[in-house]
Amino acid sequence: MSIPIVRTVAELRTAVAAWRQDNHRVAVVPTMGALHEGHLSLVRAALGQADRVIVTLFVNPTQFNNSSDLAAYPRTEDEDAAKLASLGAHILYAPDADEMYPQGFATTVSVSGVSEGLCGAFRPGHFDGVATVVAKLFLQSGADLAFFGEKDFQQLHVVRRLARDLDIPIEIVGCPTVREPDGLAMSSRNVRLSASEREIAPMLAEILFDTSGRLTEGAPVDDALATAREAIVRAGYRKVEYLELRGDDDLKPLGATDRQGRLLAAAWLGETRLIDNVKVMPVRHGSRNRL
């Protein structure tokens, strides 16, 4: 079993037009390849809701603010294609950089508000790169639905905002983070961890879940976040880039757990930057402050 690999916008549009003749509902799953179980869960979700599924594979240079990160990004197209074929995805769209950004390319899509702070503060230009390539992938594929993981929670907000603001007729479906059995959020960057770092890595998720529970029990936000930052460093992470409580539905900073929130973190383990986030339920009536 194999999957057709399409390299140009024109070929992609021809294939989608033929599907449209048969009234097929089309989904797109944007990826940068190095597919793991997290990506495959998006493809399965897409296959459950659409008749035809396009998976895109493009390591987008404009969203990397660090050239060594771009150079080190894993590239495994043959393995990715085999995984997608066995799931039954319909097209792997893998354009090269000249197809995506032809000579003279001069447009940037920039989403304000939700792209500010968190990763946006530490990766200048990152979300402009993401928003620009995602807008192009939506317009190139003309898909009805697009699937993104909650692991990149700020990205999910950016993509929802851009589709709404640019009137792109596409439904954005957010899917839960897929975790390793020890709790580590799946990420293409996990392969860069050494054996000893891999043992420490799941502590980030463990601390986030624990802190989420404490917030819901009424712990003051500032105290709970300070304790969590210390715990992450004590666990063996080199540096906490950010750890913040934000509103789940609007990403606005939350000073109290009075509505559903998200605890979002980025931290460096050796030379690898990991991000994760967990939901925080509002303080229950009758909960007593534990601190």
Interaction between residue 152 and ligand PAF (CB under 6 A): yes
Interaction between residue 31 and ligand PAF (CB under 6 A): yes
Q: 109 or 134, CB closer to ligand PAF?
A: 134
Interaction between residue 32 and ligand PAF (CB under 6 A): yes
Interaction between residue 156 and ligand PAF (CB under 6 A): no
d(CA 181, CA 176): 15
Q: Which of 39, 90, 126, 157 is catalytic?
A: 39
Total site size for ligand PAF, rule CB under 6 A:
10
Q: 109 or 201, CB closer to ligand PAF?
A: 109
Interaction between residue 178 and ligand PAF (CB under 6 A): no
Q: How many residues does the chain have?
A: 291
Is 90 known to be catalytic?
no
- Binding residues among 201-230 for ligand PAF as defined by CB under 6 A: none
Q: 149 or 219, CB closer to ligand PAF?
A: 149
Binding string to ligand PAF for residues 106 to 135, with x set by CB under 6 A, is what? ------------------------x--xx-
Q: Which stretch binds ligand PAF (CB under 6 A): 28-36, 160-168, 175-183, 198-206?
A: 28-36
**Torsions phi, psi of 199, nearest 5?**
-70, -35
Q: Which stretch binds ligand PAF (CB under 6 A): 25-33, 116-124, 230-238, 249-257?
A: 25-33
d(CA 206, CA 229): 12
CA angle 55, 61, 62 (to 5 degrees): 105
Q: Which residue has the tokens 């495959």?
A: 40
d(CA 70, CA 62): 10
- Binding residues among 42-81 for ligand PAF as defined by CB under 6 A: 60, 63
CB of 26 to ligand PAF, least distance (A): 17
- Which helix (DSSP H) or strand (DSSP E) does residue 109 occupy? none
Alpha helices in the chain (DSSP H): 9-21, 37-49, 67-72, 77-87, 97-100, 119-122, 126-141, 153-165, 195-200, 203-216, 221-235
d(CA 122, CA 65): 9
Token pair for residue 210?
A: 């624990």
Site for ligand PAF, rule CB under 6 A? 30-32, 60, 63, 130, 133-134, 152, 155
